[in-house]
Amino acid sequence: MPELTHDSVLLNEAVDALDIQGERVNGIYLDGTFGRGGHSRLILEKLGKHGRLIAFDKDPEAVRVAEKMTDSRFEIVHGSFASLESVLAEREIKKIDGILLDLGISSPQVEDAKRGFSFRLDGPLDMRMDSSRGVSAKEWLAVENERKIAEVIHQYGEERFAFQIAKEIVASRTIQPIDSTKQLAEIVARAVKTFEKGKNPATRTFQAIRIYINRELEELEIGLEKGWRHLALNGRMSVISFHSLEDRIVKRFFAGKATVKMPDRRLPIRASELPQPEMKLLGKTKPSDEEISRNARARSAILRIATRVFASQGGCNAD
């Protein structure tokens, strides 16, 4: 089987945002989602000979690709970027100079039918990023109650027919096990009466179950906080999200670090004693029309960039 490839979205923009220049070329950087290594390889091109890059990925296939890289400055960790704190502690690393997160699902994962991510390809209903551990979508749907299934589809898929879909799933599994992506897509299609033109009715349900099975949003919140905790002064965070749930978490996290609650103006406090924001927001970027025409997956991507500061730099409001 030929190697499945992945076209990294906002490749140059996300890596440029890390500002790897000057003394920072020999810094320590994290790629929280290796994928097929597009961002990691570009980071390595910019690093000096004493620089270091640690990449993470839960997907065994991605790890297999990463292990073929022979650059001594590079290391791959099989696991979630949410575990970065323990990984850094094991290597006695206290500060990092930048972290890049390319969230969501990669093209090779979608295009490999046996992974069970796509409603367009019939395959086993798995959906795990790490197929070597955890509970598959098939196993979860076989035992979960109707109320919880509806809650997951509504919360993580923002699907207004969540209750109807959950009811149809529970009814269908009493007749025969739901083993394949095709079965699930057909079940959802029976329950969803109206949907966006040009969009498969199963889109939101598949997204929701995938996010829940892999704890994607919980791990994002943990990874942002732990990554920030170890970010050096002037260190950068570069985060690419692909749907509103992810972007909302990133936006709120950045906004929380970039703003402070000011004391009562009537209190006798010197300007030097006023609380200062920890973060400066450096803006957001979306893919160009040219990139979207080349890679349809890029159409919903948003890159948000921030840096650690200890004094107000102005312009620190989330947009």
Helical (H) or strand (E) element with 284: strand 279-285
Give yes or no for a contact between 191 and 167, defined as CB atoms under 8 angstroms apart: yes
Give residue for tokens 């994928």.
35
- Rounded to the nearest angstrom, the gap between the alpha carbon of residue 181 and the centroid of all alpha carbons in its chain is 23
Domain end marker among 199, 214, 229? 214
Would residue 315 count as lying in a domain?
no
Q: What is the CATH number of the domain that holds 140?
A: 1.10.150.170
Neighbours of 123 (CB within 10 A): 16
The tens digit of pLDDT for each residue in 262-304 reads: 555 666 666 555 557 889 999 999 999 999 999 888 899 999 9
pLDDT at 58: 95
182 and 249, same domain (yes or no): no
266 and 185, same domain (yes or no): no
pLDDT at 312: 39
81 and 99, same domain (yes or no): yes
Q: What is the CATH number of the domain that holds 267?
A: 3.40.50.150
- Between helices 162-173 and 146-157, what is the axis angle to 10°? 140
158 and 277, same domain (yes or no): no
Would residue 314 count as lying in a domain?
no
Domain end marker among 214, 243, 261? 214
pLDDT at 2: 46
Domain extent for 246: 11-107+216-308
Mean pLDDT confidence for 312-319: 41
Query: Residues annotated in the binding site for S-adenosyl-L-methionine, as ranges?
Result: 37-39, 57, 81, 102, 109
DSSP 160-171: TTHHHHHHHHHH
208 and 129, same domain (yes or no): yes
The tens digit of pLDDT for each residue in 111-123 reads: 888 999 998 889 9
Q: For 249, phi and psi rounded to 5 degrees? A: -65, -45
19 and 67, same domain (yes or no): yes
Q: Which of 223, 297, 238 is nearest to 57 (CA)?
A: 223
Would residue 198 count as lying in a domain?
yes
Mean pLDDT confidence for 112-135: 92
Mean pLDDT confidence for 247-251: 97
Would residue 236 count as lying in a domain?
yes
Would residue 2 count as lying in a domain?
no
* Average pLDDT over the chain, rounded to an integer: 90
131 and 64, same domain (yes or no): no
Domain end marker among 162, 193, 214? 214
Mean pLDDT confidence for 38-59: 97
Residue 107 predicted with pLDDT over 90: no
Would residue 6 count as lying in a domain?
no
135 and 189, same domain (yes or no): yes
Give yes or no for a contact between 52 and 73, defined as CB atoms under 8 angstroms apart: yes
- Between helices 181-191 and 203-214, what is the axis angle to 10°? 120
83 and 138, same domain (yes or no): no
210 and 221, same domain (yes or no): no
The tens digit of pLDDT for each residue in 175-222 reads: 999 999 999 999 999 999 877 777 889 999 999 999 999 999 999 999
137 and 92, same domain (yes or no): no
Please count the structural domains in the chain.
Answer: 2
Would residue 4 count as lying in a domain?
no
* HSE-up of residue 230 (Cα within 13 Å, Cβ side): 25
102 and 220, same domain (yes or no): yes
pLDDT at 244: 93
Residue 314 predicted with pLDDT over 60: no
Query: Residues annotated in the binding site, as ranges?
Result: 37-39, 57, 81, 102, 109
